[in-house]
Copies of this chain bind each other. A is one copy, B any other.
């Protein structure tokens, strides 16, 4: 296999992984492309490599920047904007985890909290409802917490200790 094939395969795979996890294909593909690109790329470069339109490139680049996982760069004396990916993978994971927690987990936790508060529940159904939603709340908030700890202190002794325990 040669580089261009391998590169393409990686980009496609990353795109479909993205899709399966609720991230648009193009967004994941642009990210993949920037990860394996040793040089910063312009919007034109990205459009050409992935065969996508200007608008599509622009929107997804902005989205990736909002997620904090790619960056705009300026070359001295040039008008054009260039883009590069976060190149520390632990840091990448940390940002993704943080963002998904903020956008998806936290709001769900608020709802679980709220609905599990249900008052005057006499019926069996209501009792069961409270119990289950409270359990989900407990579980999800613990998982969220754990993820936060793991990703926040990637280099701390706690993570190293865990890693050792898990060997």
Q: Which one, A14-22, A64-72, A74-82, is touching chain B?
A: A14-22
Is chain A's interface secondary structure helix, strand, loop, or mixed overall?
Answer: helix
Q: Any chain B CB within 8 A of the CB of A63? A: no
- Given A2-B118, A20-B103, A22-B22, 7 more pairs with CB closer than 8 A: A3-B118, A3-B123, A13-B108, A21-B21, A36-B133, A37-B128, A149-B166
Interfacial residues, chain A to chain B (CB-CB below 8 A): 1-3, 6-7, 9-10, 13-14, 17, 19-22, 35-38, 87, 89-90, 93, 103-104, 107-108, 111-112, 114-115, 118, 121, 123-126, 128-129, 132-133, 135-136, 139, 143, 145-146, 149, 158, 161-162, 165-166
Give 30 A-B contacts (CB < 8 Å), ordered by A residue. A2-B118, A3-B118, A6-B115, A6-B118, A6-B133, A9-B111, A10-B112, A10-B133, A13-B108, A13-B112, A14-B108, A17-B104, A17-B108, A20-B22, A21-B21, A21-B104, A35-B132, A36-B128, A36-B129, A36-B132, A87-B132, A89-B135, A89-B136, A90-B139, A93-B143, A145-B166, A146-B166, A149-B166, A158-B166, A161-B165
